[in-house]
Amino acid sequence: MVAAINCPSCGATLKISDKQSRAACLYCNSTIQIERSHESAPTAVLESTLPEADMLRIKQLLLEGQRQAAENLYIQMSGASPQAAQEALADLGRKLSLDVVRHQQLTPPGILLVGVYALLILTGVLVLVSGRLHWLVGVLLALYGSWMLYFYYPALASTLEYRRGLPAQAEVLMLSEVGVAKLGRQRVHIFALLVDVHPDSGEAPYQAEMLLPVREKNVPRAKAGTSIHVRYLPDQPDKIIYQE
């Protein structure tokens, strides 16, 4: 069972399991001791704060899926035991993933590219069937188109899924840079955001978290207090996605 507590340093929400005794805050880089008693809910106690540069390295490793390397670095920087490091980074490991980043919605140029790659596959099949060109041309066209569609599939799936999503304005309450990734030909900075979601329908606002890729030129605009357009799923309101 997963419970939610607040970071004693910045107030961000932390999700912890029943037996977890330590956590790390994504936003202020604090290491938190979780104290439990039979009479009351778990209590978060600030233990220490790791240097921002060290935590950025740990977050980058988690983003790349290198959890063991991230835990080893955390042990080195904090002096924690292997078990404590595993517990501390458990929630961060769930939140930080390039797979999550790749599930952003396609922009209009992205949709056009998907159409081009689908057309390449069709052209390759037609070349093979007609025999008008060397069969290798058809194979190469079909393989290239298939490979690129495989890369874009997560974004395409999200674009289709969020067609039923509802629009909202989201105010950025907290944010933290968690690493840099290459999406297609672009190098982007990945930020974790804690946002206050205000549905356009007039429903009560609520808080949620999201990962947002930000192009290099837009990094200075990524700051608390800004407002962005998002879409959320009506049956899963905590699942939100950036809407350009």
Which single residue is written with the structure tokens 């404590």?
A: 84
Over residues 222-244, the mean pLDDT reads 89
pLDDT score at 43:
81
pLDDT for 221: 86
149-175, pLDDT tens digit by residue? Answer: 888 888 888 888 888 999 999 999 999
Provide the pLDDT for residue 2.
63
The DSSP result for 135-173, as a single string, is: HHHHHHHHHHHHHHHHHHHHHHHHHHHGGG-EEEEEEEE
Least confident of 76-80, 94-98, 111-115, 172-176: 94-98
Q: What is the length of the chain?
A: 244
pTM for the predicted model, two decimal places: 0.75
Residue 231 has pLDDT above 90, yes or no: yes
Interval 10-27 mean pLDDT: 82
Compute the half-sphere exposure of residue 172: CA atoms within 13 Å on the CB side of its CA. 20
Q: Is residue 62's pLDDT more than 80?
A: yes
Sequence-separated (6 or more) residues with CB below 8 Å from residue 10: 25, 27, 28, 30, 174
CA distances from 145 to 35, 63, 118, 185 (A): 54, 27, 6, 16
Tens digit of each residue's pLDDT (9 = 90 or more) over 147-156: 888 888 888 8
Q: What pLDDT shows up at residue 39?
A: 67
Is the Cα torsion angle 25, 31, 37, 40 positive or negative in sign? negative
Six token digits for residue 26: 């994504």
